[in-house]
Amino acid sequence: MNEQKICIIGDGLAGLAAAVILSKENVKIDLYCNNKKKNLDNRTTAISESNYQYIKKKLNLNGQYFFWSCKEINLFFQDKEKIINFFNFKEKNKNLMYIFQNKDLKKKLNKIISTTKKIKIIKKKIEDINNEEGFIRYAKKKIFYDLIILSTGGNSKLYDTIDEGRSIKKNYEELALTAIIKHNARIENSSQFFLKEGPLAILPFKKKVFSIVWSVSSKFFDINKKNIKNILSEKLRILLKIKSIKNIVDIHSFPINLNLKTKYFKKNVLILGDGLHTVHPMAGQGFNLVLRDIKKLQELISKTLKLGLLIKNSFILKDFYNSRKSENNLFGFGIDLTNIFFKEGKYFNSLKKGILKNISKFSFINKISQSVSDRGILF
């Protein structure tokens, strides 16, 4: 049997990772990239221990210096002007998560792709996708594929013929502020602060350097955007109890939305990555969900090929949908409810304080939370 062909449209983290991992199977892959020159992605991402071990094996990441391991995550909430440490995740014998800058993993993935004969990079803009016949069109050319994967970010017109507008959506009316912080303190582990302005995550990824993700209301940002660097510097100085911040660079803002697709595929065309599920960044679970999606897709393709079946005529995408939809939705809704729980509200604050002040007494919550964050929800 000739090698079957997979088309991946999009060269973000999800598209690049899917291309490299799926190329390990007996398939040829065409990776379609936007011809436009891209800026470096200085954002940081955290992945769980199990996801790190998965991509470490698939990408041959032994000795890669750009992953920062973390054995401790500390959680705080703001009670008026007090900052209270209400829960800590700690591990002695293994890491809880690994943090990296997106640009470093992209560089590694592109390097692998450049030396992999099974992956062909095509810098063309896709004009049309035909779900019924399984082809894409560009420059008046039709190219047929056994599987077409759309990984073109959170919003793309290419999704329209797949999801038919069927999504669970929520506009948080919030922005995620990201920045790189250089300092002289000893900060080696991650922290999450639930502040009155919104949740703020501290993610160290180098010695004396960490990134932040601060989710704030659009209104707060509009009022303070001219002074946001000073506000952030003073906030971090107080929260982390350090004398001063050396430098704050690469400040960016991104709108925050919840978007969970209710339809994942049509015929042999699949949505993958942020286009499939966009969740609140508070819990840092977005790329973890993407990696679990890729892992499941790879497992199903591998099983189908070993049985000597054609990808196009198989139940791969139906099985993928049935196995991944529940977890993706539960994570999306769970993170949404957590965000609601920590928001300021005079009718709920006293109950919230009581729960948070006693939650550390229940060790089973720690174990369940770590297990779910690491491996997801197993059905």
CATH number at residue 303: 3.50.50.60
Q: Is residue 72 part of a domain?
A: yes
To the nearest 10°, the Cα dihedral for 361, 365, 367, 369? -140
* Beta strand segments in the chain, E: 4-9, 27-32, 44-48, 68-70, 72-79, 82-90, 97-101, 119-122, 128-130, 135-138, 141-144, 147-150, 167-182, 190-194, 199-206, 209-217, 247-261, 265-266, 269-271, 277-278
Q: Is residue 191 part of a domain?
A: no
The domain containing residue 132 runs over which residues? 4-170+257-375
What is the average per-residue pLDDT within 20-34? Answer: 94
Task: Check: CB of residue 264 under 8 Å from CB of residue 275.
Answer: no
4 pLDDT above the threshold of 60: yes
Q: How far from 178 is each of 1, 150, 229, 277, CA to CA, in Å?
A: 49, 26, 11, 20
Average pLDDT across the chain, whole number: 91
Q: How many CA atoms are closer than 13 Å to the CA of 238, on its beta-carbon side? A: 13
Q: Is residue 24 part of a domain?
A: yes
Q: Is residue 175 part of a domain?
A: no
Q: Is residue 193 part of a domain?
A: no
pTM of the model: 0.94
pLDDT (0 to 100) of residue 35: 67
Q: Is residue 318 part of a domain?
A: yes
Give tens-digit pLDDT for 240-258.
998 888 899 999 999 999 9
Total tally of structural domains belonging to the chain:
1
Name residue 98's beta-bridge partners.
47, 69
Q: Is residue 314 part of a domain?
A: yes
Between CA 200 and CA 190 the distance in angstroms is 11
Q: Is residue 337 part of a domain?
A: yes
Residue type, 267: K
pLDDT (0 to 100) of residue 367: 76
Give tens-digit pLDDT for 297-318.
999 999 999 999 999 989 999 9
Between CA 116 and CA 214 the distance in angstroms is 38
Give tens-digit pLDDT for 87-104.
998 887 889 999 999 999
51 pLDDT above the threshold of 90: yes
| 38 confidence band (pLDDT: 50, 70, 90) | low
Between CA 141 and CA 5 the distance in angstroms is 16
The alpha carbon of residue 171 and the mean position of all alpha carbons in its chain are separated, in whole angstroms, by 18
| 285 confidence band (pLDDT: 50, 70, 90) | very high
What is the average per-residue pLDDT within 108-114? Answer: 95
